[in-house]
Structure 1
């Protein structure tokens, strides 16, 4: 049963407790590790890059197939009831995957095992966003909510950026110094310990009613509205950017004879991205979200164009730093808009859908970019991040039209900090 807490002036961390944030961060690492970990293990055992890419893509497809279902179950029954069995299942599937690969099964069985791993992925990042939004809405005094929401979304996006950078690095370190199966075993252990701890944390009760579900919930068809779809498409493009950038960068560094430094350079982009994502919280509220999306997507396109044209390691490094300054704030903006546009009682669903879009796009883009790099070289592969970045900008322009249509038809948009479905001030 949900515990009723009177709103007060304390900060968010006073309501979550100091251990919530490290637990929530570590709980999202398995999700960040599994795509790269599966790719590394399959390529190491089978020697086939194509099969490795196909298998990692199956993980991403699994997350997308399950994402809306998991989000719907959480919105209806609460996080604890869903995440505990899901985390345990994911841990077991990850732990068994090295044994499955070692017997060199038929391709369909290998792909099925990878698909099940993706299907059972708990997506702690999406759940954390949904949980913290509920805490802000229910437990913080009204004057504190807007700034707390901005800061929280900035932190969550920075944590995602950091996890997506640390995940591949951890995979590389474990695979290099222990064995190719070690990253998958590590992800299984993290899922067993920290996803379970995250699911059982007292904050999991936020946002649920007496029956462990919301008092009201919008129909699933509300998620198919254009204002939501444009955000899903944009997060897909951001995921494609991540996958294409990492893979093309790896190919470029391999041609330079220093492939081991690819993860380090990618980390430089991720660090800058995470830092500026946090800085978004300091932007004034009058700097509307729709214009933030336009601005930072423009920065991303310009920097990625420089990356595409770079021929030296130093030029690539500078481009990566600036790319990070564009992609981090863009991701913060997209999730903030998603919080504002989530239909009533559907916050967890929309967050899991967006998280699934990133994961699927990352894995598909990695596979496609790897194939192009193998056939045409790094220079051709380095065009793909620019295509993904340009799509983010095109969707930012499309979003301006979507918002004009919302205002013209007076479509009510639920404020992320209020429980009722009522018209609100322009948040975008």
Structure 2
């Protein structure tokens, strides 16, 4: 008597899902633009205006509209579907990047007001390919074990994109004006979005507004349960934003060359990649809701240890250990948000987690800038670790409250043995 062979969840199994490789590759091609455009814009605006202050304000506008309007753009994806919403966003974003390229190509050709207006508008139109792809993984994968591996693969790939993007910009500015990097980013987002929406799983994805109306659910209802992953993501983002500045202060304070900063941060990125792959490959016996505060606490503890580092080698080792918790924590936050939100709001749920990471990073950098002038770097690392631990405690307390909540109020939850997805 024959039986159907059981496919063991693995990264290979994720990539064998019908249309997964094609869709994921197109999304990654477009998302590579996010690693190229910001640095290219900063360099091009600095060259065009001759002012670091103008460049800083312009980049703040670009990042602010891109990050804080991300949930609103994601809501359009959920409401109208990827094809009807992503294509106009990508077209507007590409056109505005083209206009920005023209304005910065010749130094002094545009006023700071024009530069700020164009970059702010471009940031507001940034297509949310990452949250859309993560929401699609939940539909492509057959079970939650595959979804966990898909999210881990996505997180590691994104980490590599944000490392390789600035390297590509470095190659471009070696032989051309930095404005050419903006052109490259525009071409990548246009090509990636076109390939993504042409993929059959995306093409066949129905808009979610009809489902939401049929169920009579409010916006608050469909996004219920994402508070814990958002808090955890903000804590991780705050730690990452603070660490970048603290590593610079540590290196300069001990008289090392600026190239040492890159090596220390690369150690953290390598640790994050290893942790992300291990997280996806491991068959967890505890729920994602219980893992999330533990991972955030692990990051906070590692940062406390970094505060005791006497030299560059030990700091790099501590950063590698801290990195082991970064990708798993963010991946788990995305997984819980996807589970908790109603099916018609999954892109929004992922966008809120993504926004929390970026907003936390901005706040962490600002806070570290204030602390560095008043405390030693060791104490700054300790404060950062302590704040991350507080975020972990808040997430753990939220998990305890959710376990005691009435079952009828749960949109979707991750249980000890797997996931229960709302219909």
2:244/2:365 contact within 8 Å kept: yes
**1:112 to 2:110 alignment:** no
Mapped contact 1:294–1:396 kept (Cα < 8 A): yes
Match of 2:43 in 1: 40
Distance 1:245 1:254, change over 3 A: same
Match of 1:66 among 65, 69, 91: 69
Match of 1:92 among 87, 92, 95: 95
Instruction: Compute the displacement of 1:348 (Å).
Output: 0.8
User: If you compute each CA radius of gyration, which structure gives the higher value, 1 or 2?
Assistant: 2
How far is 1:204 from its partner? 0.8
Please give the alpha-carbon distance, in whole angstroms, between the structure 2 residues aligned to 1:74 and 1:95: 24
Instruction: Give distance in 1, aligned partners of 2:382 and 2:341.
Output: 29
Give me the whole-angstrom Cα distance separating, in 1, the residues matched to 2:135 and 2:70: 14
Is residue 131 from structure 1 mapped to residue 130 from structure 2 by the alignment?
A: no
CA distance in 1, matches of 2:338, 2:45: 37
1:317-332 superposed matches below 5 A:
317-332=316-331
Retained in 1: the 8 A contact 2:293–2:396?
Answer: no
| Contact 2:293-2:395 at 8 Å conserved across structures | no
CA contact (8 A) 2:275 2:326 kept: no
Is the 2:23–2:195 Cα contact (8 Å) retained in structure 1? Answer: no
Q: In the TM superposition, what whole-angstrom CA distance separates every residue of 1:95-142 from its partner, at most 9, and x where no partner exists?
A: 332443443644443332222222111121111101111222xxx3xx
2:340 matched residue in structure 1: 341
Give the C-alpha shift of residue 277 in structure 1.
Answer: 0.8
Structure 1 length-normalised TM:
0.81
- Shift of the 247–121 alpha-carbon distance from structure 1 to 2, 3 Å rule, reads farther
The aligned counterpart of 1:229 is 227
Q: Within the alignment, does 1:420 sit opposite 2:399 as a pair?
A: no
CA distance in 1, matches of 2:177, 2:382: 34
Report if the CA contact (8 A) 2:20-2:140 is conserved: no
Give the C-alpha shift of residue 148 in structure 1: 0.9
> How does 1:166-315 map onto structure 2 within 5 Å?
166-176=164-174, 178-205=176-203, 208-209=205-206, 212-213=207-208, 215-217=210-212, 218-222=217-221, 225=224, 227-253=225-251, 256=255, 258-310=257-309, 312-315=311-314
CA RMSD of aligned residues (A): 3.2
Q: Give a deviation string over 1:165-218, Cα, whole Å, max 9, x none.
A: 333333344345544334323222211222222222222135x33xx4465224
Are the equivalent residues in 2 in contact too, given 1:23–1:194 (CA < 8 A)? yes
Gaps of 5+ in 2: 1-5
Change (3 A) 1:271 1:363: same
User: 2:223 touches 2:349 (CA, 8 Å); kept in 1?
Assistant: no
Aligned to 2:3: none
Alpha-carbon distance between aligned partners in 2 of 1:257 and 1:110, rounded to the nearest angstrom: 36
> How far apart, in 1, do the equivalents of 2:367 and 2:41 lie?
16
Moved more, 64-73 or 106-115: 106-115
1:48, distance to aligned residue in structure 2 (A): 4.2
Aligned counterparts of 2:158 and 2:336: Cα–Cα separation in 1: 17
Residue pair 2:275, 2:324 contacting (<8 A) in 1 also: yes
Cα distance change on mapping 1:346 and 1:396 into 2, 3 Å: same
Offset of residue 222 of structure 1: 2.7
Deviations 1:236-266 (A, max 9, x none): 3323333333344345545645324533432
Deviation at 1:229, TM superposition (A): 2.6
Q: Is the 8 A contact 1:64 1:353 kept in 2?
A: no
Aligned partners of 1:117, 1:195: CA distance in 2, in Å? 16
- 1:345-364 matches, within 5 Å, as 345-363=344-362
Alignment check: 8 A CA contact 2:223 2:341 kept: no
1:224–1:240 Cα change, 3 Å: same
Matched residue, 2:158: 160
Shifted more, 342-351 versus 252-261: the winner is 252-261
Matched residues, number? 400
Distance (whole Å) between structure 1 residues aligned to residue 198 and residue 271 of structure 2:
33
Give the distance between the partners of 1:78 and 1:151, measured in 2 at CA: 25
SS in 2 for 1:97: helix
Q: CA deviation at 1:35?
A: 3.3
Compared with structure 1, are the counterparts of its residues 399 and 25 closer, same or farther at alpha carbon in structure 2 (3 Å cutoff)? same
Is contact 1:57–1:367 with CA below 8 Å preserved after alignment? no
Quick check: 242-251 or 316-325, which moved more?
242-251
